Amino acid sequence: MKLYSYFRSSAAYRVRIALNIKGLTYETVPVHLIKDGGHNKRPEYRAVNPQMKVPALVTPKGETLIQSLAIIEYLDETHPLPPLLPKDPVARAKVRALAQIIACEIHPLNNTAPLRYLKNQLGQEQSAIDAWYHHWVLEGFEALEALIEPRPYAWGNDVTLADICLVPQVFNARRLKVPLDKFPKIVGVDAACQALPAFERARPDRQPDAE
Ligand SMILES: N[C@@H](CCC(=O)N[C@@H](CS)C(=O)NCC(=O)O)C(=O)O
């Protein structure tokens, strides 16, 4: 398989973790999101993903998949062990809810594209952009902190989709200096996951395009 990725992209980071958990080997195709206005905007990459975002995964049969959650569910369906969602339908819905608080609520507001828009189109100062970033992470993390019960992972003693989304978001929060002292459960889940090789190998600084 081929993964179009950028070392700092948290959406690509999620997919890297899932690939590692499933024990799948893949080739990384780096797409630089910053250089020259973003290599993701080049026609060659637009041909891969018309949305011009990473990640994109090319399957062994040559299908190109986009959107990290869709890719991860594809990996889970084609390689069921170890499962990334619990069996019980209520538990599945709860794990998906944790994942979606991150992937559908926090991340879209704090992604490179909206931050760039705040700066370039709306002329906001860096301090206002940082405040925006912190606000949405803190709001989302407050909900997550109330919802998770580390045992030691976000949903019990098996790693799930919730952990796969949480760890990259915590990485970003630390990079952007969001204070995490109010979130001991989140910090605990992150530490438990970081101890696993699948998470460790997916870290941004372990990627071939790391800077
Ligand atoms: N919802 C998408 C988000 C993908 C996304 O926004 N990727 C970012 C990096 S984390 C990106 O490629 N941004 C480049 C841009 O928008 O110019 C997913 O989960 O895959």
* Beta partners for residue 66, in sequence order: 56
Mean pLDDT of the region 63-75: 98
Task: Give pLDDT, residue 122.
Answer: 97
Task: Give pLDDT, residue 69.
Answer: 98
| CB-based pocket (< 6 A), ligand 1 | 9-11, 33, 38, 40, 53-55, 67-69, 103, 111-113
Q: Is the pLDDT of residue 196 over 90?
A: yes
Rounded Cα distance between 88 and 10, Å, is: 28
Percentage with pLDDT > 90 across the chain: 99
pTM over 0.95? The answer is yes
The residue whose C-alpha atom lies closest to atom 5 belonging to ligand 1 is: 53
Give me ligand 1 centre to Cα 83, in Å: 25
Mean pLDDT of the region 146-175: 96
Q: Is the pLDDT of residue 150 over 90?
A: no
Number of neighbours of residue 80 by Cβ within 10 angstroms: 10
What are 187's two structure tokens?
A: 């910090």
The residue whose C-alpha atom lies closest to atom 9 belonging to ligand 1 is: 9
Mean pLDDT of the region 157-171: 98
H/E/C letters for each residue in 103-160? HHHHHHHHCHHHHHHHHHCCCCCHHHHHHHHHHHHHHHHHHHHHHCEECCECEECCCC
Helices in the chain by DSSP H: which ranges?
A: 10-21, 43-48, 68-78, 89-100, 107-110, 112-120, 126-147, 161-175, 184-194, 197-200
Task: Kindly report the average pLDDT of the chain as a whole number.
Answer: 97
Residues 7-62 have pLDDT tens digits of 999 999 999 999 999 999 999 999 999 999 999 999 999 999 999 999 999 999 99
Task: Give pLDDT, residue 90.
Answer: 97
Q: Is the pLDDT of residue 84 over 90?
A: yes
Mean pLDDT of the region 107-129: 96
* Coil, strand or helix at 95: helix
Q: Is the pLDDT of residue 149 over 90?
A: no
User: What is the amino acid identity at position 74?
Assistant: Y
Give me ligand 1 centre to Cα 139, in Å: 21
Burial class (CB in 10 A: 0-12, 13-18, 19+), 176: middle
Radius of gyration of the chain (CA): 17
